[in-house]
Structure 1
Amino acid sequence: MAHSRAIFLFTIIATIFSTMAVAKDFVVGDEKGWTLGVDYQAWAANKVFRLGDTLTFMYDGDKDNVVRVSGSDFQSCSFPSTAPVLRSGHDTIVLTTYGRRWYISGFTNHCKLGQKLVITVLPPQQLDWSLIPSPSPSPVPAPEAAPTPNAPWTATVPRRSMLPKKLLKMIHRNMIAV
Structure 2
Amino acid sequence: MVLCRALFLFALIATIFSTIAVAKDFVVGDESGWTLGVDYQAWAANKVFRLGDTLTFKYDADKDNVVRVNGSDFQSCTFPWSAPVLRSGHDTVVLTTYGRRWYISGFANHCKSGQKLVITVVPSQQLPWSPVPSPSASPSPSPTPAPEAAPSSNAPWTATVPRRSMLPKKLFKMIHRNLIAV
TM-score, normalising length: structure 2: 0.70
Size of the aligned set, in residue pairs, is: 158
Structure 1 unaligned spans of 5+ = 130-147
Deviation at 1:33, TM superposition (A): 0.3
Aligned mates of 2:4, 2:39 — CA distance in 1 = 52
Map residues 121-140 of structure 1 onto 2, 5 A cutoff: 121-125=121-125, 126-127=127-128
Quote the sequence identity (%).
70
Deviation digits for residues 83-139 of structure 1, max 9, x if unmatched? Answer: 22222211111222222111111122211221100011223442179xxxxxxxxxx
TM-score, normalising length: structure 1: 0.71
Structure 2 unaligned spans of 5+ = 131-142, 156-164
Aligned mates of 1:35, 1:20 — CA distance in 2 = 30
| C-alpha distance 99-63 of structure 1, shift in aligned 2 (>3 A) | same
Q: What is the Cα-based RMSD across aligned positions, in Å?
A: 3.1
Moved over 3 A (4+): 1-9, 148-151, 153-158, 160-164, 170-176
| C-alpha distance 15-35 of structure 1, shift in aligned 2 (>3 A) | same
Deviation digits for residues 145-176 of structure 1, max 9, x if unmatched? Answer: xxx67732775697x96755336536756885
Aligned mates of 2:55, 2:35 — CA distance in 1 = 15
Q: 1:166 aligns with which of 162, 171, 175?
A: 171
Deviation at 1:5, TM superposition (A): 4.9
Q: Which residue of 1 aligns with 2:33?
A: 33
Aligned mates of 2:25, 2:117 — CA distance in 1 = 16
What amino acid does structure 2 have at the position aligned with 1:165? K
State the structure with more CA Rg.
1
